[in-house]
Each structure stands twice: as C-alpha cells, then as structure tokens.
Structure 1
Amino acid sequence: MFEPDVDLDTTGSYSTADPKTLVLARTSSNHPIGVSLRIASPPAESRVCVHFPQGSQPSRLDNQVIAAHGDSVLIKVSREGGSDKTKDYFVYNAGTAATGSPRPPSLSLLPPYSGYLRNDWTGILRRGEDDLVVACLKIETRKNDDNTPKEHVPEMLMFRSGKWWKIRWARIIGIENDELVYFWSSRVIPVGDNMLCWFCLHRGLIFYIVDDKRLVYKPLPDDPSSAHSGRNVCVTSAGNVVKFVNMFARCCCGGGGASECKHSKNCYAIKTWTLRMDSMTWVLDGMMDCTELWVLDAYKSLPRVRPEFPVVSMDEPHVIIFMVHEKEWWLIMQVDMRSKMLRSVYSYPKAHELKNVCAGKHLLPSKVSYYLNPYPGGTSQIDDTEQPPLGILDKQEAHDASNSKPLQSSSAESGVREILSALQEISMYGLTGDDTKKAISILTHGNGQRFISYLGVPKKLRKDWLLTEINASVG
C-alpha cells in the first residue's frame, strides 16, 4: 500500500535511495530527478521518494502519488512549489524482475498538459506491456447561448498511445446530467484491465469501459451514512472484485444512537459489500461490531476509538486495514472480518507530519512490489551492506537499477542479536520458550521488514503485537 504523500529528498544525491528501485529522468523543463521506492509489507505503508537537485524547494502538495495499477504508479512531480510552477506527470514502471526475462524499472514523462490532473479524478490502467491508459473525468458546466438552463456534462481527458484528447459525453448511463453536480470523486480504481471506476463515497460509482467507451453509473448500497473517513471503495486482485466498506456509529447497549450509548460514544459497526459485476448488484458479505474487537486480548492495550480510512487487502478480500488516531499518534491495524481477529498493529512512523498535511488518508493499494521481487510471494531483498554514493543529480544521467548484492550471512547473525536485544526490552511474562522461538522466526522474515514493523509499534503494545502474530502464524 502506498502513502499518497511522497518523501522528498533535496540533498542532491541518491545516498538514501534503494538502488534496486531507483530510476533517473528529466522533467519537461530539462531538470534531473530521481524516483525510488521504499517497499514495506502491509499493514506498513510503502513510499515513493522523489530525489531533487540540491537547492530545490518542492512542495509536498505538488508531489504526490495519484494512482497505481499493476506494475505502474502515476506520480505528480514539481521541483518548485506554487500554483504557477510546472507540474509534470510521470509513470513509474517496476519492470519485470520476477519473470524469466528481467527488465529494470523505468520512469516515463507523460506528454505536457496545460492544466492539471486532480488527484481524486485521475486514474491509471495498465493493459499489458504496451498499452497504458491515464484518464481524468471531470464534471463540467456547459453554457448555452439560447438562454436554456446550463447543463452539467462529463468531460474525459485521456492519455493513450502517446496523445492527449478530450471526449465530451452526452450522458452517463444510469444517471441524469442534472444530478452530476452533486457527484464528486474521492478516488479512481482500476477494475480488471478494461475498466476504471470513479467513486463518490456518498453518491455512487461511475465505470468507464475502455473498449466500448461507455460510462455507467451504479449507486452505493442503501446503508447508514457515515463520515467520509469511515467508508471506502476498493478492488481486489483475485477476480477483480469491487468492495464497499461502510463503518457507521451505533449503540451497543440498545440506546437510540451512538450519542446515547452508556458504554462508549465511539461504538461502531463495520459492513462490507461486494458488487457482482455480471448483474451489477450489491451483496452484503460481512459485518463486525466494535465489541467483537474490544474483547480480543490483542486489542486490550488499544484505544476504544472509531477507526478511519478503511482499505481492503488486494490479496485477501476479507481483511481490512484501518488507521486509528489517539491524541498525538496514529496506528495502522489489520482486521480479519471472517475470523473476527485483529491480525496486527503497526505504528504510523510519520504521524507528526499529519499536523501539517491532513488528519489521515486512504492508503493506495498496489501490486508493484510483486514485479520488483524476484521471489514471488515474499518481499524484495534488502541490501544492508554499505552502498557507495550514487553521484550528484546534475552530473549523473544513468544508473543500473539491478546492481544489488545478496544479504550476507554476517548481517543475518547481527540481525538475530538485534532481535534478542529488542525482546529483552519487553516483559516476557506469559511467553513460553516456544513462543520466544516463534517470535524470533517471525521477526527474521522479510529480510528485516517484519522487525522494522515491530520496532514501529509502541513499546507497551509490542508484546500484544507479538502474541497476535504468533497466533496468526499458528492458524
């Protein structure tokens, strides 16, 4: 899952970049940039890092991940902040490291566009190796010269086969044009390799079918309304299933509403719906009450507040990832709706930045790491040997993104010592010898990524985190 805000590097070098993912390019104004990825296993968030020459003053709002599909990520890049500065759009492609014919990552600059692509109205669709669609759908007001009422019409801006063009549509199937003024998009998701889906979290979904160039509207299920941060529309990789998650306030003790609840004003329930694409009908397939989470041993140290910003796992449609806010810190927790279990909890590492950006956000599901990883099903190798400096931006034009070395055995031994030292910092009461061995085994998985996730959890929650992971590994 990608964090929408990118990391910004203005040191003028690539010393912090992962060499296996680093790609260099130039902007439309011929300035050099670099893009690298910092991949982490869910529920931890992955990040895109944009590397600028020294002295650049990029704005975080002008450098963001807009969308992702398959092996590609759409990124907005601007070297200098401000509305009058040039904003470029790049497509990062992960290459084909996981196949028999490896191809290094690449970074392609889209053709120039005089306007800008709104993050919440723009999507990307990868259709095989040679076909890429980038589309922005906007609801425009069309002025009439004959004094008739103004019309609200959808306008599509699309990149495909190297050209931009505009397509004006007379109507969207399933909705009248005068209703479009109330529709606003929250995000765009790809569905299969032939559809993009724009969704408004309180109105519905608009599907664009690429091959026959149709726009089709589908309303959301008739379900209790909740805040924007309590619902989301996602797509899974297995069967390209569209899921709707709705989390709403309720009373757990029979009161008239959440505000009257004697137990907690933060009581809530979670519902999940699946859209059957053949009949375009919604099916309720999951429900979980907050009390089912609160009684779990793994939850006892967590705050009883309402989670936000749900994201459905691409690989496991019954698993939902939430963000939890308590005072000055944020957590990311993974909930299994089928087994009614709390799988894991992860401390959001850059919570202090939310004060200056926004109070939370939906993370962007992606399968980019599958293409970077030469061992499908696991995380990419991490090279913890010291890397030589990769040069200064204005002087280096090329870099081989595949010149990485395997993890050394001495590094693995050092990692086990670090894990043992970290385990000594928590109370081991209630953990058996077998549990300790299982904990070490869990924390050594992923070439260090699981251990990094463990260190990101507040110390008072680490024992519960370990017990949750141990129980999950047994199941």
Structure 2
Amino acid sequence: MTIPVGDRFLCWVSFDKGLVLCDRAEEARPKLRHVCLPVYYDPSYYTNDLPPISDTKGMGAAGPGAVRFVAIEPHCYCGCLGRSSCARSRFAFTVTTWTLTPTMDEPVAWMKDSVLDCEELWAMPGYEGLPRGHLQSPIVSLDNPDVVCFKVTRAHKDQDIWMIQVDMRRKALLAAVQWTSNTWRSHLHLPAKL
C-alpha cells in the first residue's frame, strides 16, 4: 500500500515489516526512513483450534501531516491470550488507532488515539440487528481520519455482510449499509466527499 501524506511525504506500507517514509522536500535527493508499526496483537496467533482473523489492519492519511494505523485485535474475557472459543469471547475484539507524524530529523513515535471494545460498538444506537462478529477491512476515511469503515459479517453467512462507518474518537456509529455483490445495486456505498 502507498499513502501520500501532504505534499512532502510518501509512505510505503507493509503490515509485516512496517513502513518506509520518503521525504520529497528535495526532489533531487529524496530521503528514506524505515518506521516500525506500533506493537499490537498478532492475528496469526490463535487458541483452541480457531483460525486466525483475516484482514485486520488498515492505514491511511490523517490530514496533511500524519498517518493513521488501525488494528482489530481479538481478545478473551476469560484471561486467555488471543482468540478463545468460549461463548462470551468467541467474537470479542478491540479496535485500536494510532497516529504518526512523519519527520526525518527527530525520533518518531506512534501515539495511541483510541480504543474501542466490541461491547461498546454493539451497544451503540443503530447497531441493533447488525452482526456481532469480528470486524474486517478497516479503511480510514479520506474526509475525517477519526472515521473508520469496516466490514462485519455473521460467521458462515455470506449473505449477511454489512459495511459500517464508526467515529472512533466520539465512539459513534455513523452509518451501516448492507453489502451486496449485485452490480445493479453497487451504488449502495458509504458516503465520502471527494
């Protein structure tokens, strides 16, 4: 994934290795810098023979001078590490966002912005009737970096897929649209100003 950050920086992202910042201030001699991603749960780790959750990370520009990283991390209410098959924890997760302000001159650090627990999400007005499964495919909004879009589905039910839009800072559900693979209904999407 490649993310432009303002007019000066370009980021190449590998969720396994981190990101490379390219400072284009001097176009004749651009500078490169490697930055590790923040420490977060490794979704390839799992317990009780449950498969890992897929598509749990996302990144996008957070205004003209920052990048935002989003991670969906499963957790267990019983105290076990990773995913659990107990009834209460089978679909338990938290969503965490971090922000990085790119620079070439100083040490850089990810700042944790918000943490949203699945119970908080499921209790939000407007979430009634939506699937209580793991979120996937986080996409940082182009209009507001506090807003993240996710795909959510009931386990083993491909017909019950939703796209939701959540304001992570205010902890509010902004929109929910049922996903369709029907090209005639493909105009149904979450709004974004371009």
Normalised by the length of structure 2, the TM-score is 0.77
Q: Which residue of structure 1 lines up, in the alignment, with residue 37 of structure 2? A: 220
Tell me by how many angstroms 1:254 deviates. Answer: 3.0
Asked if structure 1 preserves the Cα contact closer than 8 Å seen for 2:40 and 2:73, the reply is no
For 2:182 and 2:139, locate their aligned partners in 1 and report how far apart those are by CA, in whole Å: 18
List per-residue Cα deviations over 1:400-444 (Å, max 9, x = no partner): xxxxxxxxxxxxxxxxxxxxxxxxxxxxxxxxxxxxxxxxxxxxx
For 1:261 and 1:191, locate their aligned partners in 2 and report how far apart those are by CA, in whole Å: 42
Aligned length: 168
1:229 aligns to what SS in structure 2? coil
Partner residue of 1:232 out of 34, 58, 81:
58
Q: Which residue of structure 2 lines up, in the alignment, with residue 274 of structure 1? A: 99
Q: Which residue of structure 2 lines up, in the alignment, with residue 193 of structure 1? A: 7
Question: Structure 2 vs 1, CA of residues 338 and 261 (structure 1 numbering), >3 Å: closer, same or farther?
Answer: farther
Give the letter for the 2:98 counterpart: W
2:84 aligns to what SS in structure 1? helix
RMSD over equivalenced CA pairs, Å = 2.2
For 2:20 and 2:124, locate their aligned partners in 1 and report how far apart those are by CA, in whole Å: 39
Q: Greater CA deviation, 196-205 or 225-234? A: 225-234
Asked if structure 2 preserves the Cα contact closer than 8 Å seen for 1:328 and 1:351, the reply is no
Q: Does 1:256 align with 2:80?
A: yes
Give the letter for the 1:255 counterpart: G
For 2:15 and 2:99, locate their aligned partners in 1 and report how far apart those are by CA, in whole Å: 15
Tell me by how many angstroms 1:288 deviates. Answer: 0.5
Give the letter for the 1:256 counterpart: C
What pairs with 1:305-324 in structure 2 (closer than 5 Å)? Answer: 305-324=133-152
Question: Structure 2 vs 1, CA of residues 189 and 351 (structure 1 numbering), >3 Å: closer, same or farther?
Answer: farther
Tell me by how many angstroms 1:259 deviates. Answer: 1.1
Give the letter for the 1:338 counterpart: R
Tell me by how many angstroms 1:328 deviates. Answer: 2.3
2:4 aligns to what SS in structure 1? strand
Partner residue of 1:332 out of 157, 163, 184:
163
Give the letter for the 2:101 counterpart: R
For 1:293 and 1:344, locate their aligned partners in 2 and report how far apart those are by CA, in whole Å: 12
2:120 aligns to what SS in structure 1? helix
Q: Does 1:288 align with 2:112?
A: no
Q: Which residue of structure 2 lines up, in the alignment, with residue 243 of structure 1? A: 68
Higher helix share: 1
Q: Which residue of structure 2 lines up, in the alignment, with residue 49 of structure 1? A: none
Asked if structure 1 preserves the Cα contact closer than 8 Å seen for 2:166 and 2:172, the reply is yes
For 1:235 and 1:312, locate their aligned partners in 2 and report how far apart those are by CA, in whole Å: 8
Asked if structure 2 preserves the Cα contact closer than 8 Å seen for 1:324 and 1:331, the reply is yes
For 2:165 and 2:158, locate their aligned partners in 1 and report how far apart those are by CA, in whole Å: 20
Asked if structure 2 preserves the Cα contact closer than 8 Å seen for 1:235 and 1:312, the reply is yes
Asked if structure 1 preserves the Cα contact closer than 8 Å seen for 2:73 and 2:93, the reply is yes
List per-residue Cα deviations over 1:365-422 (Å, max 9, x = no partner): x86x3xxxxxxxxxxxxxxxxxxxxxxxxxxxxxxxxxxxxxxxxxxxxxxxxxxxxx
Give the letter for the 1:203 counterpart: K
For 1:213 and 1:339, locate their aligned partners in 2 and report how far apart those are by CA, in whole Å: 38
Asked if structure 2 preserves the Cα contact closer than 8 Å seen for 1:201 and 1:231, the reply is yes
Normalised by the length of structure 1, the TM-score is 0.33
Query: Which runs of 5 or more residues in structure 1 are unaligned?
Result: 1-186, 353-365, 370-475
Q: Percent identity of the aligned residues?
A: 32
Tell me by how many angstroms 1:204 deviates. Answer: 0.1
Tell me by how many angstroms 1:202 deviates. Answer: 2.1
Q: Does 1:345 align with 2:171?
A: no
For 1:195 and 1:318, locate their aligned partners in 2 and report how far apart those are by CA, in whole Å: 21
Asked if structure 1 preserves the Cα contact closer than 8 Å seen for 2:127 and 2:173, the reply is yes
List per-residue Cα deviations over 1:198-245 (Å, max 9, x = no partner): 111121001222323222111101121225511111113x33320010
1:305 aligns to what SS in structure 2? coil
For 2:163 and 2:116, locate their aligned partners in 1 and report how far apart those are by CA, in whole Å: 18
Rg comparison, structure with higher value: 1
Q: Which residue of structure 2 lines up, in the alignment, with residue 206 of structure 1? A: 20
For 1:190 and 1:322, locate their aligned partners in 2 and report how far apart those are by CA, in whole Å: 22
